[in-house]
Amino acid sequence: MQKQLQQITTNMQLEEHYLTLEKALLALYFHKNCTTKSLAHTTDLPIPLVSAMKKEFAKQGWGKHSLTKKGQLAISEYFQLSGADATLYLQLTTDDAFRTEWITQNTRELSAIYNARPTADVAIDQAKCTVETALKRALLALDYTMLLNKRILCLGDDDFISIALAFLLNKIAPHSTTQIVVLDIDKRVLSMINKIAKDYELPIKTVYYNVQDPLPKTYTHQFDCVYTDTPYTLIGAQLFLSRAMNALKPEAMRHVFFSYAKRSYQKQWQLQQSLYAMGFVIDSIRYDINTYEGAQILGAKSQLFVLQTTEQMTPYIPNHLMFTRPIYTGEIDQKTVVYRCIHCQHALTVGVGYQYTTIAQLQSNGCPNCANKKFAQMKRIVQKTHFQHIVGHHILLELHDCNVALLNDVQRIKTIMCQAAEKAKAMVVTEHFHHFSPYGISGVVIIQESHLTIHTWPEYGYAAIDIFTCSSKLDLQEAVQFITKKFNAGNVTQHYLHRGK
């Protein structure tokens, strides 16, 4: 059936992908009858496209406004819906009040399992989410048509999202062929999930995996969606998302449900720049889902990004080599806190590498001298690793609608680029420019602090310019403004990158 859906996508010249057709077919299956307007709302497609889609369904013999018996059988087999609870599916996807009550009821049912989870290992940025959060995250797979007849990866699962997913799956479609795989570095977590999966006959497979190693070929390009709650560092998020990208099927509109600590506007901008550079589309950012138990560093909350893949996916970190840089908060921001016992005045240091990594652990065990459980903070030290140092500043300048004659004049371009370097107060070392036949110029100005480069396409009125420096003292914007003015560009964009961070 997947090939038929792909063919329909081609016939319709549909940009969205055949997964949109899956969403429409599930709506027809469970709702029994759907108007063109309601399907447009469900699929986010314009009404003319929905009409064309329904005609294509009718050509296959599946029905138009409602499914034929052939259509019902085909969809039931494709999504493995034998024994599915249609009422529950409809209520969870259309009734917000019922959905809230369902989460409350099932939170009580799962609490015993979740309360027995291993303690959080703060050295690898673990923070256990609440049962309610786990169920809300699981329901996202239902909302985005990623639950039925899919392969789901949980990349790092101290939150036990795999358990919530399998639990939801059994409630809605107990005979579904959906597979859930957990890759995690914490053997305690893997052991407990594995035991629960066996005891409750859940479709979960657990595998030990260190995300700093390349993703095994067995799991490359195999999954429809990925759940990941990454370390609280930018580089940690970039690494986990790169591995998630390697795990997803190489098609557009696959999903990553990505949880990450809410940060300052500057750090949020850096994160979203990374997501854009990797080729992700941010479908939504949810602030009403993630709540954690005792996660003071997060304020007990975090944001959840719903990411969609595109045809332009590029992992930030390649999969063929082991990644050796620190990725966890305790490695990058090496924090130690000295506490004093209120009763006997004994001083203890808490942090990664010491007997107690958190104050909660110290309070639980009590003072080793007198067993008192109350402490006062004396001193707090945070030391950043040298990996946070920026070694280069890089501006990517896009000039459109430029003076066409200028774009093919090698002497004038050489003069402008050398003058731009001087405007930035850089020291020019040498330069080289080449005029291609019949048109187009490439050139470089080597400066003591790095370089400026240019490539022109006169036939498009376009020039691509890079300004790169290892010095923070140069005035790069002076160079940008000078170049923009001289090329008489009608449309200018620039991207700023930190290099070596």
Q: Residue 315: is the preceding peptide bond cis (ω within 30°)? A: no
| Mean predicted confidence (pLDDT) in 334-349 | 85
pLDDT at 195: 96
% pLDDT > 90, the chain: 55
Q: Which residue has the higher pLDDT, 266 or 138?
A: 138
Domain identity same for 435 and 495: yes
- Rounded distance between C-alpha atoms, residue 145 and residue 345, angstroms: 58
| Predicted local distance difference test score (pLDDT) of residue 381 | 67
Cβ-contact 252, 17 below 8 angstroms: yes
Check 455, 471, 472, 498 and give the catalytic one: 455
What is the pLDDT averaged over residues 175-201? 94
Q: What is the mean pLDDT of residues 324-352?
A: 81
pLDDT attached to residue 286: 95
CB atoms within 10 A of CB 299: 10
161-172 and 86-94 helices, crossing angle to 10°: 120
Is 181 contained in some domain? yes
More confident residue, 301 or 194: 194
Residue 35: which CATH number? 1.10.10.10
For residues 366 and 398, membership in a common domain is answered with no
Within the chain, how many helices (H) and strands (E) appear? 16, 16
Task: Confirm whether 57 is domain-assigned.
Answer: yes
Which of 442, 437, 461 is CA-nearest to residue 452?
Answer: 442
Confidence of residue 264 (pLDDT cuts 50, 70, 90): confident
Give domain status of residue 324, yes or no.
no
Q: Provide the β-strand partners of residue 119.
A: none
Pairing of strands 151-155, 225-229: parallel
Last residue of a domain, one of 30, 57, 79: 79
| Residues 194, 291 within the same domain | yes
Does pLDDT of 406 surpass 90? yes
Domain presence at residue 446:
yes
In 10 A of CB 97, how many CB atoms?
8
- Regarding whether 483 and 343 lie in a shared domain, the answer is no
11-15, 321-325, 444-448 — most confident range: 444-448
Would residue 455 show up in a list of annotated catalytic residues for this protein? yes
The secondary element (H helix, E strand) that includes residue 210 is none
Residues 35 and 154 grouped into a single domain:
no
- Whether 90 and 31 have beta carbons less than 8 Å apart is answered as yes
Distance of CA 494 to the CA centre of its chain: 24
Which position has the higher pLDDT, 263 or 116? 116
Which sign, positive or negative, has the C-alpha torsion 128, 134, 140, 141? Answer: positive
CATH number at residue 464: 3.60.90.10
Tens of pLDDT, residues 75-107: 999 999 989 999 999 999 999 999 999 999 999
- Where in the sequence is the domain holding 383, given as residue range(s)? 329-387
CA 221, distance to chain mean position in Å, is: 16
Question: Which residue in 450, 451, 471, 472 is the catalytic one?
Answer: 450
Q: Is 84 inside any structural domain?
A: no
Q: Which helix (H) or strand (E) holds 455?
A: strand 450-457
Report which of 159, 166, 187, 162 is spatially closest to residue 302, judged by C-alpha positions: 159
pLDDT of residue 353: 67
Q: Assign 389 a pLDDT band (cuts: 50, 70, 90).
A: low
Distance (Å, whole) CA 409 – CA 377 = 68
CB atoms within 10 A of CB 409: 16
Catalytically annotated residue among 344, 470, 471, 495: 470
Stated as kind and residue range, the H or E segment containing 159 is none
Q: Are residues 227 and 112 in the same domain?
A: yes
**Residue 434 resides in a domain:** yes
First to last CA, the chain: 47
Tokens of 466: 């890079």
Residues 42 and 114 in one domain: no
For residues 300 and 447, state if they share a domain.
no
pLDDT of residue 110: 93
Query: Strand, coil or helix: what is 428?
Result: strand
Question: Mean pLDDT of all residues in the chain?
Answer: 89
Residue 316 placed within a domain: no
Same domain, 290 and 335: no
The CA distances from residue 409 to 242, 397, 439, in Å, are: 42, 19, 9
183-208 burial, b at 16+ Cβ within 10 Å, e below that, comes to bbbbeebbebbbebbeeeebbbebee
What pLDDT is recorded for position 384?
A: 57
Q: Does the pLDDT of residue 299 top 70, yes or no? A: no
pLDDT for the residue numbered 409: 95
Q: Which of 274, 308, 342 is the last residue of a domain?
A: 308
End of a domain among 53, 79, 105? 79
Task: Please report which confidence band the pLDDT of residue 65 belongs to, taking 50, 70 and 90 as the band edges.
Answer: confident
What is the pLDDT at residue 365? 87
Q: Same domain for 165 and 252? A: yes
| Per-residue confidence band for 314, with pLDDT thresholds at 50, 70 and 90 | confident
Quick one: CA torsion of 83, 89, 90, 96, rounded to 10 degrees?
A: 160
Region 411-417 average pLDDT: 96
Spell out the residues 6+ positions from residue 311 whose beta carbon is closer than 8 angstroms to its own: 252, 279
Condensed to tens digits (0 to 9), the pLDDT of residues 437-490 reads 999 999 999 999 899 999 999 999 999 999 999 887 888 888 998 999 999 988
The verdict on 161 and 255 lying in the same domain is: yes
Six-digit token string for 181: 């795989």
Residues 381 and 424 in one domain: no
pLDDT value of residue 383 = 58
316 closest CA partner among 206, 230, 396, 207: 230
CATH of the domain at 200: 3.40.50.150
Name 82's Cβ contacts closer than 8 Å, sequence gap at least 6. Answer: 76, 175
The count of domains in the chain is: 4
Task: Tell me what pLDDT residue 35 has.
Answer: 87
Contact 483, 420 (CB under 8 A): yes
pLDDT of residue 501: 65
In a domain, 24, yes or no: yes
